[in-house]
Amino acid sequence: MSPSGAEVLRQIKSRIEEVDPSEVRDRLSGGAVVIDVREAEEWAAGHLPGAVHVPRSSLETRIEGAVGDRSVPIVLYCASGNRSAWATRSLSEDLGYEHVSSMTGGITLWKDRGYPVEVPKFMSAEQRDRYSRHILLPEVGLEGQQKLLDARVLLLGAGGLGSPTALYLAAAGVGTLGIVDDDVVDVSNLQRQVIHNTERVGVPKVESAAATIAALNPDVNVVQHRLRLGPDNIMDILPDYDIVVDGLDNFPTRYLLNDATVRLRIPVVSAAILGFDGQLSVFKPYEGPCYRCLFPVPPPAELAPSCGANGVIGVLPGTMGLLQATEVIKLILDIGNPLIGRLLMYDALAASVTEVKVRRDPACPICSRAPEEITDDELGVFPDYEAFCAGAH
């Protein structure tokens, strides 16, 4: 006679470690990985704060994405402690995780003890539909999509690079997109600036971009900054954002942006294009080099042309802009290997990509110092960058 379900469960529980909710609470505040193995609807109704959702039905395929290191201590929980007991056994006996335990009594007992429960923000049926291909990815999921919706990204320029970046970030559901641009749409822009169109020639670019984004995704709030970024306004605008996307084509503003973002510890996803060549890097203050570690002084003006006066193949800002958008999404979701400390160079004619490592300069005039040491006073409310760059050649 085969043992009853209750008997099997008893046997399993005798082979695994079970921990009391009070112990789980201590481990959570100590940074332990706590995994909710219930189904999506149960998770959506409320879960332990800081827990990760990996439903038991897809534990085998998703656990590696959630916890790559098998030696990390993990606590599993479900509604009452039974499903998590089964899951604990398979993680430790079949999948080789070394320190797995199951929370006694599940979230029911946790709540009975009066411990806090976090209810994920409500995502409408329309949103679940719209972002379903994201939600299906273990690296994104409902939680990642919520991070995208909560994210605030500032785009410098609604031009060649800014157009594709803004379109894809908006499509992905990045909830707040600030756009800085003081220009109007010109017919010569339309060969590459795909967020605008022929009917909008003469319209401010921020307005045109906002109209295209509104038609694409009503979840996105576009903040229009119709101005030129300068020393007088940069410290008012930047603190509202988590990430800056830099498609600037002039050096003075690049240096100004660098110094301000290092000071505010805001990462910058930066790209540059010319002709058939593109460059891309991520400058995350104090984790990798800053722009000045790479280029301590601006190049001579004749070597620093902008796309306004020079040619660029129309598809190139598309390629580089989407690489920027990809890095932005990785930073928001905290996944993959961002291009921090790496400079990627794309040669469209050769169809080749090369990468060089870039290091922090211990003598960097900006990031060798603590952010609070980069003061207005010391820099004289930022140096005169225009003169600084003009004097370089």
Which spans of this chain sit near Zn ion (rule: CB under 5 A)? 290, 292-293, 364, 367
User: Residue 190 carries which side chain, given as an amino acid letter?
Assistant: L
* Minimum distance, C-beta of residue 343 to Zn ion, in the bound complex (Å): 14
d(CA 392, CA 346): 27
Taking the complex as a whole, the smallest distance from the CB of residue 246 to Zn ion amounts, in Å, to 15
Q: Are 244 and 257 a contacting pair, CB within 8 Å?
A: yes
Closest CB to Zn ion among residues 200, 292? 292
User: Angle 306-308-309 (CA atoms, 0-180°, nearest 5)?
Assistant: 80
State phi, psi for 161 to the nearest 5 degrees: -80, -40
- Nearest approach in angstroms of CB 202 to Zn ion is 41
Pairing between strand 74-77 and 243-246?
A: unpaired
What is the b/e burial string over 291-322, where b = at least 16 CB atoms within 10 angstroms of the residue's CB? bbbbeeebeeeeebeebeeeebbeebbbbbbe
By C-beta, is 46 or 365 nearer to Zn ion? 365
- Kindly tell me the sign of the dihedral angle through the C-alpha atoms of 194, 196, 197, 202: negative
Distances in whole angstroms, Cα of residue 60 to Cα of each of 44, 63, 101:
21, 6, 17
User: For Zn ion, which is the closer residue by CB, 132 or 375?
Assistant: 375
Between residues 32 and 367, which has the closer beta carbon with respect to Zn ion? 367
Least separation in angstroms between residue 377's CB and Zn ion is: 20
| Residue 342 half-sphere exposure toward CB, CA atoms < 13 A | 11
| CB of residue 292 to Zn ion, shortest distance in Å | 5
Shortest separation between residue 368's beta carbon and Zn ion, angstroms: 7
Between 89 and 369, name the residue whose CB sits nearer to Zn ion.
Answer: 369
Closest CB to Zn ion among 149 and 293? 293
- Give whole-number Cα distances, 80 to 15, 83, 143, 347, in Å: 18, 8, 23, 57
| Cα 70 from chain centre | 26
Closest CB to Zn ion among 73 and 365? 365
CA distances in angstroms from 40 to 135, 204, 252, listed in the order given: 11, 44, 49
Query: In the complex, what is the shortest distance from the CB of residue 331 to Zn ion, in angstroms, rounded to a whole number?
Result: 19
Minimal distance, residue 367 CB to Zn ion, in Å: 3
Residue 136 Cβ vs Zn ion, minimum distance, rounded to whole Å: 40
Closest CA to 136 of 211, 245, 49, 58: 58
CA distance 153 to 133: 22
Q: Is 199 exposed, middle or buried (0-12, 13-18, 19+ CB in 10 A)?
A: exposed
One-letter amino acid for residue 137 of the chain: L
Residue (196 or 292) nearer to Zn ion, CB? 292
Residue number with CB closer to Zn ion (229 or 293): 293
Place of tokens 């003061």: 375
